[in-house]
Amino acid sequence: EALVQLQVLDGSFPLSFWSKTEPPKSAHALFSTACVLLAVGRHLPSQALEKAGEFILSDRREDGTWGYDPALNIPTDSDDTAVALTALARFNLSDLCEADAALLRSFWREPNGPFRTWKAGGNWEQVARDDAVVNGNILVALEEIGIPPTKAEREAVWRLIQSSNRGS
């Protein structure tokens, strides 16, 4: 009930950046909205779920991806795309298909993975930016869409998880 009261008219659940030295700042609500659905969506009324799904769908870019916050002027990414697709799939808020799985797989780092966080060229695509949590989110999204990850994808993500020694 408390979360439903926080839901904004556009269907999103708000997100703020907090700092010890500055007052909170509003941030784009795509990631928070998808995460609320993934965490507690089964406890939300159907109207709240539908509104959140509409918000997520309205934020989809022309190329099919989602991004963290357009105001930050950073590229769209596999993490936001995976989390958005997972939320939509889990609650049947959109018809998803092989093209959505192919979109996630387009972030695959040839020849042996793992998945890149960004496909934006330059520094964005450095191997050091491959993130274990992002890769895990892609595997979950593929499962939820109904087109499970391959053995090679799972193994590459597991190798990344095992070798990760930094924060996400």
Residue 168 has pLDDT above 70, yes or no: no
Average pLDDT over residues 123-136: 94
Rg of the chain in Å (alpha carbons): 16
Residue 167 has pLDDT above 70, yes or no: no
Average pLDDT, the chain: 95
> Would you put residue 126 in left (φ > 0), alpha (ψ -120 to 50) or beta?
beta
pLDDT of residue 38: 97
Average pLDDT over residues 34-58: 97
Residue 17: band (very low, low, confident or very high) from pLDDT cuts 50, 70, 90: confident
Average pLDDT over residues 151-163: 96
Determine if the pTM surpasses 0.85.
yes
72: amino acid identity, one letter:
L
Residue of 71, 147, 138 lying closest to 108 (CA atoms): 138
pLDDT of residue 145: 97
Average pLDDT over residues 109-113: 95
Contacts of residue 144, Cβ cutoff 8 Å, sequence gap at least 6? 85, 86, 89, 90
98: amino acid identity, one letter:
E
